[in-house]
């Protein structure tokens, strides 16, 4: 099957709104009307609890990782960069899901984590450690996610060399994650971004 067909399939997989489905199945609610309104694992945690958040995060991670791992093996031709294309398509699907008319998706962190884990596992480990440290010190999930996104292309450049095409791919992934967190960055500047415990800082 040609790469463009797998790209469309990857986007459709990435568009599956696991958080929305979890809210409807577990409590009969639309998560877009609760908490932050975001269809991501953090809002699932605040609204539905830790177990639901783990399931949603895992699903979103897998829908980013599996196309990157599997679809290049089934792609016609020898172009070596299809895995990167599929990774970006999965993230875009999560952020702009077609099933929700391109609106109201998550911020792409879990899906991007799956993509990065599949493409560059060692830099992913370093960024995960950074995420944990920043989140533990500040209790801001958004700040931890943006910090890890900023560090990602730098870690990939150090690990694989600055000329690696993975650097450009990870830079694009980082920019996508930072763009989806632009509202969080504004709230951080204003001092009203929710902590991991759900409280808002005065």
Q: Give the mean model confidence (pLDDT) for residues 154-173.
A: 95
62 lies in the same domain as 155: no
Residue ranges making up the domain that contains 184 = 120-202
Confidence of residue 197 (pLDDT cuts 50, 70, 90): low
pLDDT of 1 above 80: yes
81 lies in the same domain as 141: no
d(CA 18, CA 106): 10
* Domain termination residue (choose one: 90, 119, 148): 119
* Domain termination residue (choose one: 96, 119, 142): 119
91 lies in the same domain as 6: yes
13 lies in the same domain as 1: yes
How many CB atoms sit inside 10 A of residue 26's CB? Answer: 15
Please choose, from the candidates 74, 68, 81, the residue with its C-alpha nearest in 3D space to the C-alpha of residue 14: 68
Which stretch of DSSP H or E encloses residue 193?
Answer: none
Strand partners, 194: 200
DSSP 3-52: HHHHHHHHHHHHT--HHHHHHHHHHS--GGGSTT---SHHHHHHHH-HHH
Confidence of residue 35 (pLDDT cuts 50, 70, 90): confident
Question: pTM value?
Answer: 0.91
- Largest Cα span, the chain: 56
Residues 56, 136 contacting (CB under 8 angstroms): no
Please choose, from the candidates 88, 127, 106, the residue with its C-alpha nearest in 3D space to the C-alpha of residue 44: 106
Number of separate domains in the chain: 2
Q: Which of 39-43, 109-113, 150-154, 164-168 has the lowest mean pLDDT?
A: 39-43
103 lies in the same domain as 190: no
159 lies in the same domain as 86: no
139 lies in the same domain as 173: yes
Which pLDDT score, from 0 to 100, does residue 59 have? 97
126 lies in the same domain as 112: no
pLDDT of 201 above 50: no
* Domain termination residue (choose one: 100, 119, 138): 119
6 lies in the same domain as 88: yes
Q: What share of the chain is helix, strand, coil (3-state, %, to 5)?
A: 75, 0, 25
50 lies in the same domain as 74: yes
Q: Give the mean model confidence (pLDDT) for residues 33-62.
A: 93
pLDDT one-digit tens code per residue, 113-157: 999 999 999 999 999 999 999 999 999 999 999 999 999 999 999
15 lies in the same domain as 83: yes
66 lies in the same domain as 161: no
């Amino acid at each position: 099957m040609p790469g463009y067909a797998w790209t469309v399939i990857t986007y459709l997989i990435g568009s599956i709104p696991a958080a929305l489905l979890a809210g409807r199945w577990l409590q009969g609610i639309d998560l877009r009307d609760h908490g932050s309104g975001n269809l991501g694992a953090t809002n699932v945690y605040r609204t539905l609890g830790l177990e639901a958040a783990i399931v949603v995060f895992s699903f979103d991670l897998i829908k980013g990782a599996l196309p990157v791992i599997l679809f290049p093996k089934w792609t016609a031709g020898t172009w070596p960069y299809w895995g990167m294309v599929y990774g970006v398509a999965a993230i875009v699907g999560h952020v702009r899901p077609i099933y929700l008319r391109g609106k109201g998706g998550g911020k792409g962190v879990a899906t991007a984590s799956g993509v990065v884990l599949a493409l560059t596992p060692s830099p992913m480990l370093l960024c995960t450690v950074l995420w944990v440290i920043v989140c533990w010190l500040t209790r801001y999930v958004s700040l931890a996610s943006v910090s890890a996104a900023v560090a990602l292309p730098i870690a990939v450049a150090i690990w694989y060399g600055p000329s690696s095409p993975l650097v450009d791919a990870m830079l694009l992934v980082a920019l996508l994650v930072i763009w989806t967190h632009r509202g969080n960055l504004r709230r951080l500047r204003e001092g009203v971004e929710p902590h991991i415990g759900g409280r808002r800082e005065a």
